[in-house]
Structure 1
Amino acid sequence: MIDFKQYDNAVAKYHTDLNIKTTPISSWNFHHSLVQELRNAFVDANTIAQLGITFKWQEDIWDLKSTNSDEVIIVTDANLSIVFASQNITKMNGYKPEEVIGQRPTMFQGKSTSAVVSRQIGQAIQMRQPFEKTVVNYKKNGDTYICMIKGYPIFNDKGELCHFIAFEIAA
């Protein structure tokens, strides 16, 4: 019969010397939140890609899968009616995407929003030009937040303006 005493002692010493750190169950929620954010970003990117295909956008120059997870994406039609809002809009201002669909982006503005900046954004939109502005916006609960917006016109394959896309992040 083979003597495993030396082997058993080595295994026992190995397990005794291990410094095993357990992961608390509370970290599972963090992991779940991260996975949910990644899933939402993936679904949002695919939805926007589908919009591009449906409306025959000229080009797809945005790498939406690598955008900052805090960056909210809003797509409006040519008349500035919101047709898409990314899932993370709720984290930024308390609105759910379905609450803003059909509204205009001015719904986020209020008394403290600069009329000058709003006019400048409006002029860029009228001229079908990209813009980058910082504006005071309002959350659903009425609190204000500083929002950095990068907006771009989108043209279809016939060269006609069909949408605008904005990448927004709370500053």
Structure 2
Amino acid sequence: MRNNLAGMMCLDLFMSSQNEHDYTYLKSQISSSDFLKAPIKSFDFYIDYFTDEIKKINRKNDINTIKDFANKFNWCNDVDAIFKNQDFETIVLTNKAQEIIWVNDGFKKMTGFSKKYAINKTPTFLQGDNTCEETRARIRKKLIANKPFEETVLNYKKDKTAYKCEIKIFPLSIENTTHYIALEKAV
């Protein structure tokens, strides 16, 4: 045990002394799938792997929640296609009137507002004095067009901090649009 701990500490010290290029190369060699079957050689590598796995699980759970809504509301949209190759922090699901019916855990991390607070509000509660009226008008126009679109809007966190938010909105429908899903990330 003592030898193993000393080995882990030496590996940590050695790795921390490497330049970024060498560190990246060495990490890829140590972080191979065989590494995961072997005893932990460095906590840094393990925590990076663990964090990535948690993100994957959370993403999968979020997508499954949307699939549950899709079954409940009989949407004809391909949910997997909506999420394919999409990078997002937050998912906001609204009804036709744009009232929020569900947000993922990323919503609180990105905005500071709780899920409970967001429910039944429209996403405009995140906008403020410096949110561009032209952007708001473009979003309204694109929602009426009833096609997927992308826009960047200035939003405000709970603590009043402004942030630029990239939103990708997809209409969800049976025959007509009944809901919207927004995939969002701070940019």
Same fold (TM over 0.5): yes
The residue number in structure 2 matching 1:132 is 150
With normalisation by structure 1, the TM-score equals 0.76
Letter in 2 for 1:64: F
Q: List per-residue Cα deviations over 1:94-147 (Å, max 9, x = no partner).
A: 223333121111011001100110011012112323322111000111100011
Alignment root-mean-square deviation, CA: 2.4
Q: Separation in 2 of the partners of 1:39 and 1:97?
A: 19
Question: What do the CA deviations read for 1:78-98 (whole angstroms, capped 9, x no partner)?
Answer: 010111212212222222333
- What TM-score do the two structures reach when normalised by structure 2? 0.70
User: Where has structure 1 moved over 6 Å in runs of 4 or more?
Assistant: none
Higher deviation after alignment, 73-82 or 125-134: 125-134
**Paired residues for 1:1-150 under 5 Å:** 21=11, 22-24=41-43, 32-61=50-79, 62-64=81-83, 67-68=86-87, 70-150=88-168
| Residues 1:164 and 2:183 are matched in the alignment | no
Higher CA-based Rg: 1
Equivalent position SS for 1:79: coil
Match of 2:128, as an amino acid? G
Letter of the 1:150 counterpart = K
CA distance in 2, matches of 1:27, 1:115: 46
- Structure 2: distance between partners of 1:37 and 1:133: 25
Bigger drift between 128-137 and 108-117 goes to: 128-137
**Contact residue 154 and residue 162 of structure 1 kept, 8 A:** yes
Task: Name the SS of the counterpart of 2:76 in structure 1.
Answer: coil
> Would the alpha carbon gap of residues 28 and 98 (structure 1) be closer, same or farther in structure 2, given more than 3 Å must change?
farther
Q: Which residue of 2 aligns with 1:11?
A: none
How many residues are treated as equivalent by the alignment? 150
Q: How far, CA to CA, are the matches of 2:130 and 2:72 in structure 1?
A: 38
Fraction of identical pairs, as percent: 28
How far apart, CA to CA, are the structure 1 residues paired with 2:45 and 2:117?
31
The verdict on how the C-alpha distance between 1:37 and 1:95 changes in structure 2, with shifts beyond 3 A counting, is: farther
